[in-house]
Amino acid sequence: MLEDGNNHEYLVPDVPCISSSDVIEPRRSELVDNDGGRLGDTQIVAISGAIAGFLSGVAVCPLDVAKTRLQAQGMQTQNENKYYRGMFGTLRTIYRDEGPRGMYKGLVPIVLGYFPTWMIYFSVYEFCKDLYPVLLPDYDFISHSCSAISAGAVSTFCTNPIWVLKTRLMLQTHVSTNPTHYKGTWDAFRKIWRQEGIKSFYAGLVPSLLGLFHVAIHFPVYERLKMTFKCYGDSDLRSERTLHLGRLILASCCSKMVASLITYPHEILRTRMQLKSSLPHTVQKRLFPLIKNTYQREGFRAFYSGFATNLFRTVPASAITLVSFEYVRDHITSLNDNILSPPPLPRESSPN
């Protein structure tokens, strides 16, 4: 019993002595940082983005080859002006001339490219989605656009050399007039480096950066449709797990078609800047002279050459990428929460 200065008495409970054998030894996981064995949000997003990009790249590689051939054939010789006709006609021609392997030309650069591209993109995008709303409150569409542009700029600059390799390999055919033959990805890298220099690995970078308007439309529209189809406005990560698969596919497909319709011409220009052709260097490697030359030679339709094929390729790719990203992130997050987290210590019964 204790007594304070005001003569008030307080009962103090008896505290049993605790010996060293009674002390609960901490778990191994508690001897380190609580998050030492767990993945952070950035790591989860990066892994999910890499897996999603890989799956979409492999799934639509044949369509990507067909699209690239259609986009580039206007710059070839007159004998090849109409060698490829439409998506299915192009696929049949490629299969007839080059066999199944021709359908997957450029697959290695795709695999090597989509891993870092989407890993970087989704990591930067998710980071900026938290940053820009602070700078631009009450402007969700603008903040999502800025996030998409920032992510696209970083990933495009880092991976442009890989897409140059992919384009060169995809455009290499038995009937090609290009005197340089590439035996594979590494051979293409060495020959481009020796014959054309490092600048060639960044050919088409300007049109690619202009293509950031594509993601500036695509992802904000996707976010808006995703919110609309959920029928509630909560944007918490866990609430996104309640999205139905069909609604998520519909949101990704619709947003991709809208963005493609508006921004497709930049893909034509990017592809033509990346390949080797008989055009003067001052025309092919500069944006506005190339636009003028393309319009004069082929008309306005040239800027939408292969557009239908592109939709058949990019819309499924978008659905695969975004849907798989959502579900892979959900699965990894669940594993991170339920398996990697140490279980709580059991509550000990009080002594009698």
pLDDT reported for residue 255: 94
For the chain, the first-to-last Cα distance in angstroms comes to 23
Residue type, 250: L
Closest CA to 71 of 262, 269, 295: 269
Cα 129 from Cα 53, distance rounded (Å)? 20
Cα 80 from Cα 227, distance rounded (Å)? 47
Closest CA to 225 of 200, 258, 207, 248: 248
Question: What secondary structure does DSSP assign to 168-213, as a single string?
Answer: HHHT--TT---S----SHHHHHHHHHHHH-GGGGGTTHHHHHHTHH
Confidence of residue 140 (pLDDT cuts 50, 70, 90): confident
Cα 327 from Cα 319, distance rounded (Å)? 12
Q: Kindly list the domain boundaries of the chain, sorted by start residue.
A: 37-336
Say how many C-beta atoms besides its own lie within 10 A of residue 175's C-beta.
12
Tokens of 33: 């940082």
In this model, does residue 79 exceed pLDDT 60? no
pLDDT reported for residue 24: 43
The region of weakest confidence among 107-111, 269-273, 277-281, 348-352 is 348-352
In this model, does residue 238 exceed pLDDT 60? no
- 280: phi > 0 → left, psi -120 to 50 → alpha, else beta; which? beta
Q: Using the CB atoms, write b or e for 223-239: b if 16+ within 10 Å.
A: bebbbeebeeeeeeeee
Residue type, 279: L
What pTM was computed for the model? 0.66
The CATH architecture annotation of domain 37-336 reads: Alpha/alpha barrel (1.50)
pLDDT, tens only, 27-74: 433 333 445 567 888 889 999 999 998 888 888 888 888 877 877 776
Q: What is the mean pLDDT of the chain?
A: 77
Per the CB < 8 A criterion, the answer to whether 162 and 115 are in contact is no
Q: Using the CB atoms, write b or e for 329-338: b if 16+ within 10 Å.
A: bbebbeebee
Strand partners, 108: none
